[in-house]
Amino acid sequence: MRVLVCGGAGYIGSHMVRMLLAAGHQVVVFDNLSTGHSLAAEPASLVVGDLLDVPLLETLLTTQHFDAVVHFCARSLVGESVSEPYAYYENNVIGTLNLLKAMRAAKINKLVFSSTAAIFGDPESELIAESHPVRPINPYGSSKAMVERMLMDAARAYGLCSVALRYFNAAGADPSGEIGESHEPETHLIPNVLRAALDGRNTLKVFGHDYATRDGTCVRDYIHVNDLASAHTKAIEFMANHEGAHQFNLGNGRGFTVMEVIEAARRVTGVRVPFEYAPRRAGDPPVLVASNAKAREQLDWSPTFTEIEAIIESAWRWHQNPRF
């Protein structure tokens, strides 16, 4: 298969590229390198460009043949989306609309889309199934929910076949140590814990310890980046015999508090990370845990990194020796 991976130089996209290449597919990466790294996209061929550049996008899709598109390009920081909403709607919604129109013109009708747990807003239940209401509480979540809506409309109007994968907390790195998570600034918990463990002088801030959880800190469902990538492969296979727009929640189905992550990191690294309690971070729901039953049943997918220590260990290998 020939697959276009938009955002393939980013954290999750680059793990997807490796997996597709290892399975024998041909891969072209389209990425504006705003947060991605060209080294991460190797050894796929890389087209540097932006989804807002319509002529470039149309030329790429009409002059090359692709069987499917996997779309990771997005701005994805909740806090930034609150202060810069236009940038989020422009990149995530208009950028995706441009991609969908170019796909239609080029008669490509299979898309796997990166969605997020942020579409659920403040969850009504601890375990979130696909039937949970979609009620985003920040522009990032809204932008992803809008695209999910566009995909449903496009299925009806144009026969577009799509799978939206709603990631919970992506974490870890490829066991090869060649690619991993590299954001600047870094806002995510596990990289910040590991950077503090490496540095020794950095004090980790724990945002809020007065939540109604077992130790007062937020609970999240951490899912290994290669398990996310394998779900995309399963989604491509799924589209071979399923029409329409589909949605799946992707997590391990188990939640860990911030303090439990710090403790698991101590077991993995041998370093007791210094931390201090800080005020709650705006927009953080207390608990976010996925029900992954639908993905298990319908995609025939299951996570392989089921232990938090194994996820952190793979990230630790990367953070000790990052290539980019």
Q: Which residues bind ligand UFG (CB under 6 A)?
A: 76, 78, 116-118, 140, 169, 187-189, 192, 204-207, 218, 220, 258, 281, 284, 288
Q: Spot the catalytic one: 11, 140, 211, 222.
A: 140
140 is catalytic: yes
CA distances (Å), origin 215, targets 211, 263, 273, 275: 8, 12, 17, 15
CA distances (Å), origin 303, targets 36, 103, 168, 242: 25, 31, 13, 22
CB of 5 to ligand UFG, least distance (A): 19
- Identify which of residues 28 and 190 has a Cβ nearer to ligand UFG in the complex: 190
Please tell me the distance from the alpha carbon of residue 225 to that of residue 14, in angstroms, as a whole number: 10
CB of 216 to ligand UFG, least distance (A): 11
CB of 211 to ligand UFG, least distance (A): 8
- Identify which of residues 1 and 310 has a Cβ nearer to ligand UFG in the complex: 310
Which residue in the shown chain puts its C-beta closest to ligand UFG?
A: 218
CB of 67 to ligand UFG, least distance (A): 28
- Identify which of residues 220 and 234 has a Cβ nearer to ligand UFG in the complex: 220
For the chain, what is the total number of helices (H) and then of strands (E)?
12, 15
Please tell me the distance from the alpha carbon of residue 15 to that of residue 192, in angstroms, as a whole number: 20
Sequence-distant (6+) residues with CB within 8 A of 68 are 1, 3, 4, 108, 110, 111, 112, 236, 239
Residue written as token pair 């991993």: 180
Q: Which residues are part of the catalytic machinery?
A: 140
